[in-house]
């Protein structure tokens, strides 16, 4: 099966600019996640969708970050305006089963964002 697709792979922007990342999960996967991985740290969950509804966005900096999953398939994550501390790898993941089953997450290769 095709894996989780993310684009772009790399992005360099100046602070205060905006940027958007795109994710296409594995076909049929109900749950989609966006994680932020800062260099030297473990991934941190930003937002979790169940189909096209938000399940958890408690760690999403909502003053600058937004995400949507229209039609319950593809998703976009946007940062506006970007700050230097947003430099990180943004990972998208999907899982087959909704909850309670311990279904493993499948990750894309990520988008490496550098804010200068």
41 binds another protein (CB under 8 A): yes
113: its two tokens:
């964002």
User: What 3-state class would DSSP assign to 27?
Assistant: coil
C-alpha span between 51 and 30 (Å, rounded): 5
| CA dihedral sign, ordered 90, 94, 99, 101 | negative
66 binds another protein (CB under 8 A): no
- Choice from 16, 51, 80, 98 touching another protein (CB under 8 A): 98
Question: If binding means CB under 8 A, how many residues of this protein chain bind another protein?
Answer: 30
Chain residues in the site for another protein (CB under 8 A): 4, 31, 33, 41-45, 48, 50, 55-56, 91, 93, 95, 97-110, 112
């Amino acid at each position: 099966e095709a894996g989780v697709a993310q684009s772009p792979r790399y992005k360099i922007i100046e602070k205060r600019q905006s940027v958007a990342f795109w994710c296409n999960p594995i076909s049929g996967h109900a749950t989609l996640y966006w994680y932020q991985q800062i260099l030297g740290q473990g991934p941190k969950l930003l937002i979790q969708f169940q189909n096209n509804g938000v399940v958890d966005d408690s760690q999403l900096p909502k003053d600058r970050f937004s995400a949507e999953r229209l039609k319950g398939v593809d998703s976009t994550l946007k940062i506006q305006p970007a700050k230097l501390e947003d430099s990180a790898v943004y990972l998208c993941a999907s899982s087959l089963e909704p909850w309670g089953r311990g279904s493993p997450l499948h990750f894309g290769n990520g988008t490496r964002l550098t804010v200068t």
